[in-house]
Structure 1
């Protein structure tokens, strides 16, 4: 993820950010200096993802590819995931985050290497100019000691079942509803993500199953998030960042005022309005790397200034932890060399850099050498 702040000189505005530890900035362009860029996200009808006709799926992929190249974000409408699953999960989020803090802190994310479990308000701080991210959350992910996940993986390597548990689940009687509720959502999003992977392959002029061999046991996460209304103008729900997975699917609660914002080429924040029965889909850093920068991993943030409670359920999808990936052959430039990297190693480096906290303790990121 990347942090961002905004500074102003006498003549220029800039949005400054750090993406994976590398600083960058984008000038705010207006008037005659403005570039042609997006001012809203496209809506793409995903009914074709279930078509038996390859031509229908290719037609969908063409629209998806254009959005990934030009924006990095789009709405997936008519996605086919049961509305009842989504509504029930939002109900579960509201119930979970209303639990007493001591019940939630049983699974505090500082107890695990992968930062799984509960994150309290202001513990994250992606924007160093703020007092911290004004949100609380719960993170779970790939854990092949969880039987709920094994049933989704027909080609799963048996050797991986000997891993140590990665997820934490609350044991208090008032919170026992949480695990089955999250796994119902996880199961639906996992199935949709596997289909989405085929559409991304087609959009890159690759065979539909091109990525299947590196996603037999993919890295996945569900992050349940609660954003209370912001009372201070200087607050931010989560600082501006890019995601460091393959792609992200976001289901956001219905609020009158949009909280999610995407940064366009002119350095302006474009609001992402909650759309009924739609996912917000975005390209993340892995997919940008694999496309040689052809697709955009776009900076985004959350500012919940609409005086409503907001809930969000992003689902993150990446290749296998032990997969090796590089830029696909036909997107390589002549004369350039391209590094192959191990997905899990890259992911852990980014996690160590970006998942710093307000806890007053030295994090693994701070123990790394500069630049890493």
Structure 2
């Protein structure tokens, strides 16, 4: 059982920067200390800046070049890969397609892909809404650099997941059996220049639905909410990957880890960002680990990882919301509303009504 220590106050004022190079070698003498730093960041803040991650700069530069060339295409060219025409939520996301809980349409466009399975995979043929092949634009030298980046960060994410298992007092491979073909999504996001950015968000306030996210941005603009309800900027650190905890690790740890609410605000300059939303296999049941359930902290209701991800996605994408409204699509039983995890949700639940 992990050592039970008092949780420090949540009104943090800065985002920790952690050198995770020791995680890249299982026998590194600083590995345990690095694992402890990650655990502290996950408990207190829910965010960290990761340096020493080993993702080669050239891999990222090729991804960035391919992304710029794609978003420079005419809209009708990009819409040939429109996500609403896919059967497993892959492709181009135009400006205004996404709306988070209580927000206005996001001022961004994106290209979404995920763990690739062949078109004849039984799960895809059975109609799973998030599994199967990716859709690719007819653009030279696009797919290869995107896949190279995906594979590099996905491999790193598996090491981070093992570190989280260790800091929770579990065997490092505790979660490995749940990572065979997860709907772990990579988004290529473009925030166009917006002279009125002070008056509208780039992306609305939310938590991420998966286990955790590894984000590579090209500029600042990201903000996080601390325990006092204040919004703090995440400083731009060259070559860093921004880590944030998602809904599933908050649930698995019964609130020991925090899915921190965040947003992109005031983006007056053109900005690109590349989040990998790392998660576990679609059918994975997620319930609080016994070590974190006490009479004072009763267990949160369990969920199925992929069903939660799909339900949250369906409530935030315009093309899926329209299907919900017409009845051609229904949410999985027990689906939670948007923004049901994180500090903002805790604040709402603790606020008296009436």
TM range (shorter): 0.7 to 0.9
Q: Secondary structure at the match of 2:322?
A: coil
Of the three residues 135, 143, 156, the one matched with 1:192 is 156
The structural deviation recorded for 1:304 is 3.9
Q: Which aligned pairs between 1:158-177 and structure 2 lie closer than 5 A?
A: 165-171=132-138, 175-177=139-141
The structural deviation recorded for 1:355 is 2.4
Q: 1:111 to 1:159 in 2, by over 3 A?
A: closer
**TM-score relative to the length of structure 1:** 0.79
The structural deviation recorded for 1:325 is 2.2
What are the Cα deviations for residues 191-220 of structure 1, in whole angstroms up to 9, with x where unaligned? 111111111111111111111111122221
Residues 262 and 300 in structure 1, CA contact (< 8 A), matched pair in contact too: yes
Of the three residues 284, 301, 322, the one matched with 1:362 is 322
Q: 1:371 to 1:241 in 2, by over 3 A?
A: closer
Unaligned runs of 5+ in 1: 1-34, 148-157
What is the rounded CA distance, in whole Å, between the counterparts of 2:41 and 2:101 in structure 1? 27
What is the rounded CA distance, in whole Å, between the counterparts of 2:146 and 2:107 in structure 1? 22
What is the rounded CA distance, in whole Å, between the counterparts of 1:43 and 1:84 in structure 2? 22
Q: Secondary structure at the match of 1:319?
A: coil
Residues 353 and 365 in structure 1, CA contact (< 8 A), matched pair in contact too: no
Question: Aligned residue for 1:319?
Answer: 280
Of the three residues 236, 239, 249, the one matched with 2:201 is 236
What is the rounded CA distance, in whole Å, between the counterparts of 2:87 and 2:69 in structure 1? 27
Q: Secondary structure at the match of 2:318?
A: coil
Question: Aligned residue for 2:100?
Answer: 126
Q: When the two structures are aligned, how many residues end up with a matched partner?
A: 318
What are the Cα deviations for residues 152-196 of structure 1, in whole angstroms up to 9, with x where unaligned? xxxxxx86586674421113xxx1322112101111011111111
Of the three residues 51, 54, 59, the one matched with 1:80 is 54
Q: Secondary structure at the match of 1:193?
A: helix
The structural deviation recorded for 1:346 is 1.9
Give the strand-richer structure, 1 or 2.
Answer: 1
Q: Which aligned pairs between 1:27-42 and structure 2 lie closer than 5 A?
A: 37-42=11-16
Question: Aligned residue for 1:51?
Answer: 25
Question: Aligned residue for 1:104?
Answer: 78
The structural deviation recorded for 1:112 is 2.0
What is the rounded CA distance, in whole Å, between the counterparts of 2:119 and 2:71 in structure 1? 23
What are the Cα deviations for residues 24-62 of structure 1, in whole angstroms up to 9, with x where unaligned? xxxxxxxxxxx7622221000111102332753221111
Residues 304 and 310 in structure 1, CA contact (< 8 A), matched pair in contact too: no
What is the rounded CA distance, in whole Å, between the counterparts of 2:34 and 2:126 in structure 1? 38
Question: Aligned residue for 1:178?
Answer: 142
Unaligned runs of 5+ in 2: 1-8, 338-354
What is the rounded CA distance, in whole Å, between the counterparts of 2:266 and 2:97 in structure 1? 17
Question: Aligned residue for 1:153?
Answer: none
Which segments of structure 1 move beyond 6 Å, counting only runs of 4 or more? none
Q: Which aligned pairs between 1:213-228 and structure 2 lie closer than 5 A?
A: 213-228=177-192
What is the rounded CA distance, in whole Å, between the counterparts of 2:264 and 2:56 in structure 1? 26
What are the Cα deviations for residues 231-265 of structure 1, in whole angstroms up to 9, with x where unaligned? 22321111111000111000001x3xx21111112
Residues 75 and 280 in structure 1, CA contact (< 8 A), matched pair in contact too: yes
Q: 1:169 to 1:42 in 2, by over 3 A?
A: same
What is the rounded CA distance, in whole Å, between the counterparts of 2:224 and 2:29 in structure 1? 31
Residues 186 and 222 in structure 1, CA contact (< 8 A), matched pair in contact too: yes
The structural deviation recorded for 1:365 is 6.5
Of the three residues 234, 239, 242, the one matched with 1:280 is 242
Residues 356 and 365 in structure 1, CA contact (< 8 A), matched pair in contact too: no
Of the three residues 288, 291, 309, the one matched with 1:330 is 291
